[in-house]
Amino acid sequence: MAGRSSARRVAVALAWRPEWPVVMVVAMAWVALVVLYVSSSSQGAHTGYGSHGDPATLAAFGAATGGWTLMSMAMMVPTTLPAVRHVGLNSIRCRRRWAMALYVASYLAPWVTFGMLALLLVRALRSAGPDEQQLLVGTLVIAVMWQLTKWKRRSVVACRRTVPLPPAGWRADCACARFGIRQAGRCVVSCWPLMLLMAVIGHGNVIIMAALTLGIVVEQRTWVRGSLTAPLTGALAAATVWAVLSG
């Protein structure tokens, strides 16, 4: 009897959180990244399998794309879980999971595109001359400055907006895809310097990935009075100082 009651409570809790399958996928992405990081570290490559993500050859480009997609799933999808939940709760039951999957795929597409462009940009910068230290400090300074702009704050707020979803059919599918792309666009505006930072550091570094993900998620969930972006700005400023001093 007690077991049935507990099972019902779990079922009700999961019903209120229809995004839980996406949470599972994100968790699996993190596990995969940790495994890859540990295995590459044991081989002596501390920046991991995706170090600098240099897409010089087709194979390397494919690996970089895969690595970046995995990283986007782990880092950026957690920031959009409220939107995934919105899609789930506002879709009819029989198309709920399809709608959420469509949303997440549409959300990831712009991030992967951005990642490829970021990797190409970093490669071009490296070939242009600045050393790793200069590249890191420069990217951190850009990230801190971006945190202070009104565009940053506006895009953080815009990430919380929703769009109307028709009940069924192709209109509903289009609306889910449009919502995903629009949300990703807002989040790219909000977080592009942070992901550029990952392109510089190398997207195999799970410790920095975890720290940045935590910072972004806290920023997205913060409703405190005053600046929404202050905590992450402070952390990035501290990282900049550390990078300069350690150079």
Partner 1 sequence: MPTMDFDQQGAAEMYEETTFVRRDVWTLQADDPWDPITEAYALAVATMQARPITDPTSWAYQAAIHATFTATPPGAVWNDCQHGSWYFLSWHRMYLYYFERIVRAAVLSIGGPADFALPYWNYDQPFPNNTLPQPFREPTLPDGSPNPLSLPSPGRSSPIANGAQLPPAATSSGAAMAMTNFIGPPGPGFGGGSQPPVHFSGSAGALEQTPHNVIHVMVGGAPNGQCQGGLMVDPRCAALDPIFWLHHSNIDRLWNRWLALGGGRANPDEPAWLDQPFTFHDETGVVVTLTGAEVVDSAEQLHYVYDDQPSAQGLGVSMNDASPTPREPSGPPEMVAATERPVELVGGARSVPLRVPSSTMSLLTSDDATTGARDLYLNVEDIEAEQNPGVVYGVYLNMSPDDPGADRVRHHVGNIALFGIELMNDPDKAHPGVPGFRHTFDVTRVVGELSEAGMWDPDALTVTFEPITPIPPPGQEDLTAVVSAEFEEGAAPPVRIGRVSLFVG
Residue ranges in contact with partner 1 by CB under 8 A: 9, 11-12, 15-16, 18, 89-94, 150, 153-154, 157-158, 160-168, 171, 223-227
Residue closer to partner 1 by CB (options 17, 123) is: 17
Our CA angle for 224, 184, 222, nearest 5°, is 10
Residue closer to partner 1 by CB (options 92, 145) is: 92
Q: How far is the CB of 235 from partner 1 (least distance, A)?
A: 21
CA distance 51 to 40: 10
CA distance 58 to 65: 10
Q: How far is the CB of 5 from partner 1 (least distance, A)?
A: 10
Q: Is the dihedral of CA 50, 182, 187, 214 positive or negative?
A: negative
Residue closer to partner 1 by CB (options 137, 172) is: 172
Residue closer to partner 1 by CB (options 109, 189) is: 189
Place of tokens 């899609």: 87
Quote the distance between the C-alpha of residue 147 and its chain's center: 17
Residue closer to partner 1 by CB (options 62, 167) is: 167
Residue 80 in contact with residue 187, Cβ under 8 Å? yes
Residue 151 in contact with residue 216, Cβ under 8 Å? no
Q: How far is the CB of 157 from partner 1 (least distance, A)?
A: 6
Q: How far is the CB of 142 from partner 1 (least distance, A)?
A: 22
Q: How far is the CB of 181 from partner 1 (least distance, A)?
A: 17
